[in-house]
């Protein structure tokens, strides 16, 4: 309860000073991470924060489910461009290639590391998250197509990664004598159940919302409450039938999102705000992890791995995948570089921390924390120069500027 009290107090104080802090480039992720490190990190922490507790693990899983739902409902609206924003190439080609490169580097840099553990680390650090560059996504100096590509990728990649993450972790922790085939079939069965639950729930909820609105049985408040309940329903229902709760929440969001526009701009505001609050708690946890894992310093191999994950392992696959897609060279480079890391990586790292043995958990958490920390600094520093570069007339496609794609605001903070 002390940790909850500290989080709520911090949230209240931050709400009163957030605008002032933003003038000094102090964002909520930075503030909550620093607070986590100062208050709950290290051996002599001021408040207790048990990352190993079963309740904490369940809370983290629910946070991920809600974020996946909001991602699926937010990463839309780019259709007005009238053309692809490279989402198929980014998610179908660049993301798998990045994960493969990250896995290979993990095996090479850390002798004795198994392929499954290296794959878990890569799946944790490679999904892009928009928190460190969210202001850039509202910056009209940057071509709309670049912003939309980043927005869609950031919204969908964690949903695609989550079942593979669960499968790889299962291969590391299985103690029941299950063979690889057994684990693969279990993962496929869980994903299939999740897709079925998510699709049924999403389409049914969509139909019910439309009928209720047409009949005048509900209003804006009721619709917001309905939207908030859906990710929790999807996660719980899928888990009850043996499905992957993360996938179910994501699919539910995809199927339900089409009701958002006719229901009004505030239709999903409440669930987005709740997801935003949950993200702040994740950043607080990130501060705790940094203080605990880096108390005795960080190895050179971990730093090299983090730098590689943010640069070559991301840049080369993205630029290669987008070649021939209509993006200019500068636009491809911008999308390749601006693959920032944030809440998604932290949540996956915490899940790995709670499920893996100590040594393996430490490896995943250290690589994730180093990658996210470097990303917050590097992408935060370079976002403004990139916007200025485009403003000076960098090559761009006609019609590629103006407007703003719907951003993943649930992870943003002022």
Query: How many whole angstroms from its chain centre is CA 218?
Result: 32
Q: Which domain holds residue 178?
A: 53-411
Q: Say if 113 falls within a structural domain.
A: yes
Q: Within 13 Å and on the Cβ side, how many CA atoms surround 261?
A: 4
Q: Which residues contact 206 (CB under 8 A, 6 or more apart)?
A: 255, 256, 258, 259
pLDDT of residue 1: 65
Q: Say if 29 falls within a structural domain.
A: no
Which of 32-46, 121-135, 155-169, 379-393 has the weakest average pLDDT? 32-46
The secondary structure of the chain in percent helix, strand, coil, rounded to multiples of 5, reads: 75, 0, 25
247 closest CA partner among 139, 156, 313, 329: 156
Report residue 84's pLDDT band, with 50, 70 and 90 as the boundaries. Answer: low
Neighbours of 2 (CB within 10 A): 12
Inform me whether the pLDDT recorded for 152 exceeds 80.
yes
Q: Say if 28 falls within a structural domain.
A: no
Q: Say if 255 falls within a structural domain.
A: yes
pLDDT of residue 211: 87
Inform me whether the pLDDT recorded for 200 exceeds 80.
yes
| Mean pLDDT score across all residues of the chain | 83
pLDDT of residue 20: 80
Report residue 376's pLDDT band, with 50, 70 and 90 as the boundaries. Answer: confident
Residue 294 and residue 369: Cα distance in Å, rounded? Answer: 9
Segment 284-302, tens digit of pLDDT: 888 888 888 887 788 999 9
Segment 97-120, tens digit of pLDDT: 999 999 999 999 999 889 999 999
Q: Say if 392 falls within a structural domain.
A: yes
Which of 18-22, 145-149, 237-241, 242-246 has the weakest average pLDDT? 18-22
Query: How many whole angstroms from its chain centre is CA 315?
Result: 19
**Domain count along the chain:** 1
Q: Say if 8 falls within a structural domain.
A: no
Q: Determine the angle formed by the axes of helices 144-173 and 343-355, rounding to 10 degrees.
A: 0
pLDDT of residue 24: 73
Q: Say if 164 falls within a structural domain.
A: yes
Report residue 409's pLDDT band, with 50, 70 and 90 as the boundaries. Answer: very low
CATH number at residue 332: 1.20.1530.20
Q: Say if 208 falls within a structural domain.
A: yes
pLDDT of residue 410: 43
Inform me whether the pLDDT recorded for 398 exceeds 50.
no
Inform me whether the pLDDT recorded for 121 exceeds 90.
yes
Inform me whether the pLDDT recorded for 25 exceeds 60.
yes
Residue 128 and residue 95: Cα distance in Å, rounded? Answer: 9
């Amino acid at each position: 309860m002390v940790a909850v009290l500290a989080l709520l107090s911090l949230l209240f104080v931050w709400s009163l000073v957030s605008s002032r802090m933003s003038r000094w480039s102090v964002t909520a992720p930075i503030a909550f991470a620093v607070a986590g490190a100062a208050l709950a990190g290290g051996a002599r922490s001021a408040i207790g924060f048990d990352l190993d507790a079963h309740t904490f693990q369940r809370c983290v899983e629910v946070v991920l489910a809600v974020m996946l739902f909001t991602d699926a409902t937010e990463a839309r609206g780019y259709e007005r461009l009238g053309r692809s924003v490279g989402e198929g190439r980014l998610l179908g080609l660049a993301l798998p290639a990045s994960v493969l490169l990250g896995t290979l580097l993990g095996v090479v840099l850390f002798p004795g590391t198994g392929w499954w553990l290296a794959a878990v680390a890569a799946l944790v650090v490679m999904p892009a998250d928009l928190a460190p560059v969210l202001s850039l996504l509202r910056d009209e100096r940057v071509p709309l197509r670049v912003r939309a590509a980043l927005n869609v990728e950031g919204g969908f990649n964690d949903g695609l990664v989550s079942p593979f993450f669960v499968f790889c972790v299962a291969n590391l922790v299985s103690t029941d004598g299950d063979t690889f085939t057994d684990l693969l079939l279990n993962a496929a069965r869980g994903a299939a159940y999740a897709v079925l639950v998510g699709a049924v729930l999403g389409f049914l909820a969509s139909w019910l919302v439309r009928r209720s609105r047409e009949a005048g049985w509900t209003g804006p408040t009721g619709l917001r409450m309905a939207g908030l309940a859906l990710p929790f329903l999807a996660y719980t229902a899928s888990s009850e039938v043996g499905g992957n709760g993360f996938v179910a929440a994501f699919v539910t969001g995809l199927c339900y999102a089409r009701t958002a526009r006719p229901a009004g701009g505030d239709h999903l505001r409440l669930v987005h705000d709740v997801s935003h609050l949950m993200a702040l708690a994740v950043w607080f946890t990130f501060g705790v992890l940094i203080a605990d894992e880096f108390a005795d310093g960080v190895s050179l191999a971990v730093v090299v791995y983090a730098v590689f994950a943010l640069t070559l392992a991301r840049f080369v696959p993205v630029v290669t995948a987008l070649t021939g897609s209509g993006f200019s060279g500068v636009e491809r480079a911008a999308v390749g570089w601006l693959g920032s890391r944030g809440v998604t990586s932290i949540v996956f790292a915490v899940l790995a921390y709670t499920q893996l043995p100590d040594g393996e958990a430490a490896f995943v958490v250290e690589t994730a924390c180093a990658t996210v920390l470097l990303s917050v600094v590097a992408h935060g520093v370079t976002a403004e120069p990139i916007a200025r570069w485009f403003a000076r007339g960098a090559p761009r496609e006609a019609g590629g500027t103006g407007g703003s794609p719907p951003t993943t605001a649930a992870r943003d903070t002022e």
